[in-house]
Structure 1
Amino acid sequence: MGLQFDSKFDWLKNLRVQIALLTLVGWAIALSVDRTYVESYRNESDQIFTQQGMMQMVRNRGQNAALIILSIFETCLFGVGLAFFVAVGFRVFKIKNSMLRKRMIWCWCTISFFCMEWWPHSTTHFLILTTGHDPLRDYITMETTFHWTITFCSVVLGYFQYDLIKLMYEVAMMRSKMKEGREVDPLKQEWYKNFNYHGLVIGVIFFAIAVPVAFHYQPLEPTYVAYQKFFFVTFHLVNSAVLALGFTFAYIALRTILLLPPSPGKKVSIFSSIAITFLFVIQYPHPFFHTNTELKMNNTVAIDFGVHIPIVLATGILAFYQFRMLELATDEKSSLSVAAQMRRKSNSGGASSQGASNAGSSMKSAENNSGSFGASSIEESTSKNSSATDNNPIEMKKIGADDVTIDIHG
């Protein structure tokens, strides 16, 4: 599975060790390129700005030191993304559970790109000013190349995160229904108790507010040509929709998580949901900082540390917690993995009360097992999930509340 090593190097098979080592290699390569090749372009930009009399864009000693710190930070994140892409890539396609495998592949691609893109992203913000092109053309290039791609990544991770929370939610609601002897799921009761509808209303309100505000701070100028007008209209609508989606996600995720029983999986959901919400919301004011601040190196550094660094930190936190959530999802002893199997069998129309009982037993043992939410590894799950999904299939049938045989009260 993955890379093969002699027995004395078995420790190198550990996924986290591989990620750590590959991170150091990627970091060293990226930082050396940044401090040599990329730095030569920064020096050239200083000369161009000096010749044009734009001394406010020429780096002084303090600003240069700040940019070096930023480069160290961003090239380290680049190394993390590269390591995640390579190390997890050897395992992701071998996950047996098809539903979890598809989501893991999306998460693997998204987190890898999210981490690796920040170094070239931040560097391009600085160097694109020296191209001599129309500033508006450069701005549109940056938005479509970098900002919209990270927005797409946020949406993908938001969906992935919500789906995993929903898996745990389905199990929690099944428990509560059997305990209370009645339907307790708000999503299956009167419409005014359905928090998905509440979230939709919240999204519509924020979208209605965000659109006119966006056009106020970035209005359509008479000098814009057709493609520029099309871009800004589309840009404002998309950014406003993402802001609305962020608040909708925050509300629905919060309402869902509050209904979950205490567990490490719940804690992971909280932290990763906060990071996703921040990445949604920050994308709305992000472009305004670039277009509504005076062209000065002080402002460039301030945006890097005041906007980009928080996004980078949120990305790193999200990458860690999403990876932990994936570890839980691919551990066949965890209730999350059992829930995924239950959903797969339910969707396929399987019917077996004995299988349902087995599902409950598996869930109960998962909750009582101290390692069920512990530090599992994906390489272990690729071998375990085959037995979990093939040798012990979980099948369910539709039964009344009085006939429930699933033992999941643990």
Structure 2
Amino acid sequence: MSRRVFITGIGVVTGLGETLKDFWSGLLEGRSGVGPLTLFDTSPFKVHFGGQVRDWDADARFGHKEARRIDRFAQFALVAAESAVKDAGLDLVAAPPVPPERFGVYIGSGIGGLNEFEEQHRNLIDKGPRQISAFTIPKLMVNAASGQISIKYGLKGPTSAVATACASAANAIGDAFKAIQAGWADAMVTGGSEAAITHMGLGGFASMRALSTRNDDPQRASRPFDKDRDGFVLAEGAGVLIIEAEEVARARGARVYAELLGYGMSADGSHITAPDEEGRGAERAMRMCLQDARCNPDQVGYINAHGTSTGLGDLAETKAMKTIFGDHAKHGLMVSSTKSHLGHLLGASGGVELVASCLAIHRGVLPPTINLDEPGEGCDLDYIPHTAREVRVDRVMSNSFGFGGHNASLLIGRP
């Protein structure tokens, strides 16, 4: 069974804000959500900045007792899900549009509860094993976000977690899309969440030399496709969507942002961190996505690129887009990376970026790539530098590629 699947609600938690208004206006105005990190003392580290979610008061949101039971990454997921549910016009507790057994949750995260892992490891070393919290495992497990959302709303349909590094959210959304198409569910809460700005997260990525070290100018540090890019900017947050089978959305008169049309995934099969230099894995994911959607390459008007601001990654993705889209890549296709504003949300990035893609297609404005002053060698596509572009597009692709060689592409269209 194959069914049309609509996106009816979206929610975010990012360094640009926690409302769609703040998020979208920040992207269109070219603002950066990157700044000095305040979650802990970064003075011993090589990098002192990131895309931190500011002024996060978990006690005020959840109550002190409940906040202690939920790691920061799952807190982000719950708040983004609540925003998406509200945006979709749903009351999932009192009046769900389908039976709870037909409503599922797929949320991705690359790392999960890293905050909790570090805190309890300190307890283990400093105080001994008897002082490890009883909440440790339920907080750090990657499926905590999807589990907490299903519990909050009493959802009992297909529920899972995806951990494919920076492709996690995109894979979760694609899998949720296929679950509805296959008839396993009629509606899903889906997306991704991450909170890896921790001692180990920051230190680990810095030791790999994966991060930008532009400490003197953090807001300009994330510069996808620019010749002076020197690594990605670590960020945190969540992006969550409500997706529904066509008949469910139409029956309740839902506002529809976009239709999910295609999903493709692949592996590079070559290196645990570096992408295939020719972008062959990314190319296969995009090609599969187009085939799944029965969409010709020249029908795609805009790509929200993975675009992490790394030397190898940006070039490999550009090569893949040239291979797939041919002459259209140079004459008609528009590309931008919203990581230039937000930094890299790792396993949450695909969720946040699909939210941006939905708003782009729904409102007829494409977000720019900020900090792109001079394209790097081989980066010669239309990356919408600096200024948002008002233009109607009917097909939008969103790319997410992760460590381990995981590649995922999603295609949405005007409904």
Do the two structures share a fold, i.e. TM-score over 0.5?
A: no
Higher Cα Rg, which structure: 1
TM-score of the pair, normalised by structure 1: 0.25
Higher RCO, Cα 8 Å, sep 6+? 2
Specify which structure has the higher proportion of strand. 2
Q: What TM-score, normalized to structure 2?
A: 0.25
Higher helix share: 1
